[in-house]
Amino acid sequence: MTIQSSNDDASQVLADAHYPTQSIDWLTRLIGFDTVSRHSNLALIEDVKAYCEQLGLSVDLTFNEAKNKANLFVTVPAGANADHVNHGLVLSGHTDVVPVDGQDWTSEPFTATIRGDKLYGRGACDMKGFIACALTMLPQAVKLSNAGQLRRPLHLALSFDEEIGCLGAPLILADLKARGITPDYCIVGEPTNMAMVVAHKGIAVYRCRVHGKSAHSSLIAQGVNAISYASRLVGYVDTLAEELSTRNGALEDGDEIFTVPYSTLSVGTIHGGTATNIVPNLCEFTFDYRNLPHMTQDDVLEPIQAKIAELNAQMQARAPETGIELMQEESVPAMTDNDSAELQSLIAALTGDDERHKVAYATEGGQFTNAGIPTIICGPGSIEQAHKADEYVELNEIVRCDGFLQKLLNSCAVN
C-alpha cells in the first residue's frame, strides 16, 4: 500500500508542506483495504487490532451473523484515580465505503494518490481520514494513560455497514450496555470540513408492493390494476409531502437551521406491468421519509397505513386475493442536540468556532443519541466529495483534524 503521486516525489511534497506524514501514512494504509460494504472488512479490522495490541490495549470485536464483518472497540483507560473510569469519550467511525462500480476514476480508487494538495481514494473523506487521525493519536493517549494523566477513558469505535443502513453500530452499543460502559460523549468523524454538526435528520425507507389481478386489457372489469392503485398511493404520499413542506416550511413545526427546514417525503423508484394489453397484477415503489429530530416515523406512517387500508378494501371488494404490502427496508434515527450542550461548548472552545450546523444526511450519530450518549459530528473533508469518482480529502483537512484531536486529548488529560 503505497502513495502514488503525480508529483516527482510525494514524500518531498509532504515534507515541504509540513503535512502530517503519520496520519497520511495511516490513511494510505486504510484506503488500501477494499472495504466496500458488499465485501468483508476483517482485513482492515485485524490490522487495526494488531496495532492497538502492540500499544498494550485490549480490543473487543463484535461480528455480524455471517462472521465476515466486525466492529472494533478499544479503550485507552483512565488513570486509577480518575472519576470517569466507565465513562469517557468515544471517537466513532465506519470502516465500510460505497462501491466504485461505473465511476470514471482518474486514479486507482484503492490506492491513495496525491495530486497537488489533495489525497484521492475511496474513503479518503468518507471516512477513513478521521480514522487515520484517531489512530495516529492513540500512542499519545496511551502514554498519558500509562503516566496516570488521563482523567477519563478515550474510546475508539469502528463499525461495519454504515453505508447500507448503519447496521454495525447497534451491536457496539449493545455490547457497551452489557459491559456497563456508559460514555459521556461521542464524536462521529463524518466529513464536515471540521465544522460542528449538532443534529441530523432521521431516515426511513419503505417498499410498497401492490398485488392486483391480471386480465386482458379489453376485459378490465375482470382485473384489478396494480399500477392504478399504486398511483393512488403515490399521489397520497405526494400530498403528505406537500403538507409537510407547507407546515414545516412555514416553521410552524420546522427548524430553520437545517438547509431544508422541514421533514421530507419522496417516492424514489417504481416498477410494474408486463405489457400494454395486460392489466398489471404487480407494482412496487419505494419512498423515503427524512424526519426532523423532534418528529417520528409514525407522523407519516399512520396516515399512509390508513390510506392503504382504504385502498385494500376497494381492491378486495373486487378480488379478495389482492392488496397492498408495506415493508420497511431501512431505519436510521435522527440525531438530536437535546443533551449535547456541554459537548458543544467543549468543541466550540477547542475549535474557536461557536457555529452550530444541522444536516439532512443521516449518520450513526442518531444511534448514539438514542442510546443516551450526547453526540456531535466533526471530521475532515467535505460531504460533497463523498461517494463520487475521484473522492478526495484536502491534506490541510488532515492537518486540522490532527490538531483538533490533539486539543481534545489534552482536554482529557490531568492539568
The residues annotated as belonging to the active site are 96, 162
Q: For residues 182 and 86, what is the distance between their CA atoms, to the nearest angstrom?
A: 6
285, three cell numbers: 415503489
Neighbour count for residue 409 (Cβ, 10 Å): 18
Residues ≥6 apart with Cβ < 8 Å to 27: 112, 119, 121, 124, 128, 129, 132, 393, 398
- Identify residue 201 by its one-letter amino acid code: K
Which runs of E-coded beta strand occur in 28-165? 59-63, 70-76, 89-94, 113-115, 118-120, 154-159
b/e per residue 310-333 (b: at least 16 CB within 10 A): ebbeebeeebeebbbeeeeebbbb
Cite the DSSP H helix spans in 254-364: 298-318, 341-351
Residues ≥6 apart with Cβ < 8 Å to 331: 165, 202, 203, 204, 205, 297
Residue 270 contacts residue 314 (beta carbons within 8 Å): no
CA 139 to centroid of chain Cα atoms: 27
Q: Is the peptide bond before 194 cis (omega within 30 degrees of 0)?
A: no
Residue 358 contacts residue 192 (beta carbons within 8 Å): no
Count Cβ atoms within 10 A of the Cβ of residue 306 and give its class: 0-12 exposed, 13-18 middle, 19 or more buried.
exposed
Q: Which of 181, 193, 178 is nearest to 154 (CA)?
A: 181
For 339, phi then psi, to 5°, come to -115, 10
117, three cell numbers: 494538495
Q: For residues 134 and 48, what is the distance between their CA atoms, to the nearest angstrom?
A: 11
DSSP symbols for 388-399: STT-EEEHHHHH
